[in-house]
Amino acid sequence: MSRKAKQKIILNNIEVLRGGAKGVSVGKTEEGKTVLIKGAIPGDVVDVHILKKKSSYLEGQAIEIHTKSPYRVQPECEHFGVCGGCKWQDMSYDAQLKFKHDEVVNNLVRIGGFKDLEAEIVSILGSKEQYFYRNKLEFTFSNARWLTLEEIQSGKEFDDRDVVGFHIPGAWSKVLDVTKCHLQRDPSNVIRVEAKRFALEHNLDFFDLKNQEGLLRTLMIRTSQNGQVMVLVQFFREEKENREAFLQNLKDKFPEITSLLYAINPKQNDSVYDLDIEVFAGEDHIMEKMEDLNFKIGPKSFYQTNPEQAYELYKLTRDFAGLTGNELVYDLYTGTGTIAQFVSKKAKKVVGVESVQEAIDAAKAAAKFNGIDNCDFYCGDMKDVLNQDFINEHGIPDVLITDPPRDGMHKKVVENILFMNPKRIVYVSCNSATQARDLELMKNQYKIVKVQPVDMFPQTHHVENIVLLERI
């Protein structure tokens, strides 16, 4: 007997009430059940195709808009709705800021249990640039272009399947053919277009993601605020003549490329961190500047992808720290030591801790390059490093800055911080939910003095948040 098909559940005329976590919007059924809705924004009235049913909420996709929200705007990008990278392009920027701000407040109240914070929360700091703000993008070469629904339904055979673009969310083996991306300034778009043109003209093999074969894999483009450009091309295998011809064409067409690199990558993934990077032309890095600090950015380096807004974030972090020049500062999850170096000139000493040895090596090299002699960097698991021996050696911090990954801090790290009991803590987070969870564990010992959301990624739901804590 054939299995009975599931009945399609449609909820009609659902009013979208507010923004929710991870870019979805929130509505309610007539019975008061929460509905998490993709493809809608607050103020819409929509029909929703329910995809998941949970005991306390429903998840679904908006399939028809009956009433358009006053926050709706026309998306700038022709790829909106397919690419998946800028899901809030159809919402005005003022509205984006409002809902990001509200999410931070909601998490602090609902998860952290902080009820009376209105006086401490500063309005979210918007980004000066709402498009073309990223300094790094990575495009994928693929022989399996994503076909539109209209193309599929036409029944035609499509031979033009070679593409340079972005992976489709939920369909990793398919790649969207990007005509113009609004995230990175030129020459990003023109370099990508020329790379595709040359490859097609010379019959170079685009990568087959399913079968793991082909020549051209990825194209990474990094730019700096002083106009330098890095291009890194990953080839699946070495074909010296084709490789050199491809790279030489980029060199000839784009003299603004100051760092032209390549790697041979026969692995199952595109990660660069375990690859040998070769220089085809120019330098092995580009330079970025922030105040009087200079940073060498290599192909494997981490650097904030919105550099102009990163500067604002770091200034606020330094201001929150309230440094006078006499303080010992701990910088946890220091990465390549950018924040540590940025605050060092106003501190007596900064101790940075990070679990990735390559990042620590880069931090030490950067501090030496910048002539900074009051920063020390140590590698190790945060929950293990911050023990009594470490404190005996380096001292109890007056100020502690922490900028953990999205998962937040391990409970043991929070316990170690509470044991050290610094006078002030500045908690920088890219996930206000896990931040609120960690702050709840500290509320008996620390009070929230100030909260400052910062928008680093316009057109997306992501938001950074800075919280200043003072010892009670």
Where is the binding site for S-adenosyl-L-methionine, in residues? 304, 333, 354, 403
Q: Contact, 47 vs 16, CB < 8 A?
A: no
Q: Please, what's the largest Cα pairwise distance for the chain?
A: 79
C-alpha–C-alpha distance, residues 364 and 357, integer Å: 11
C-alpha–C-alpha distance, residues 344 and 324, integer Å: 11
Number of H helices and E strands in the chain, helices first, is: 11, 21
Active site residue: 83, 375, 379, 430, which one? 430
Q: Contact, 426 vs 399, CB < 8 A?
A: yes
Which residues contact residue 422 at a Cβ distance below 8 angstroms, ignoring those fewer than 6 apart?
330, 396, 397, 398, 399, 400, 471
C-alpha–C-alpha distance, residues 54 and 355, integer Å: 37
**Beta bridge pairs of residue 139:** 219
Token pair listed for 459: 């057109």
Amino acid present at 316: L
Q: Contact, 166 vs 85, CB < 8 A?
A: yes
SS3 (DSSP) at 86: coil
C-alpha–C-alpha distance, residues 187 and 353, integer Å: 36
86 is catalytic: no
C-alpha–C-alpha distance, residues 471 and 244, integer Å: 60
C-alpha–C-alpha distance, residues 44 and 66, integer Å: 7
- What are the backbone angles phi and psi of residue 213, rounded to the nearest 5°? -150, 160
Which residues contact residue 394 at a Cβ distance below 8 angstroms, ignoring those fewer than 6 apart?
328, 330, 351, 376
Token pair listed for 293: 């600090």
Which of these, 146, 20, 144, lies nearest to 79 by C-alpha position?
Answer: 146
Active-site positions? 430
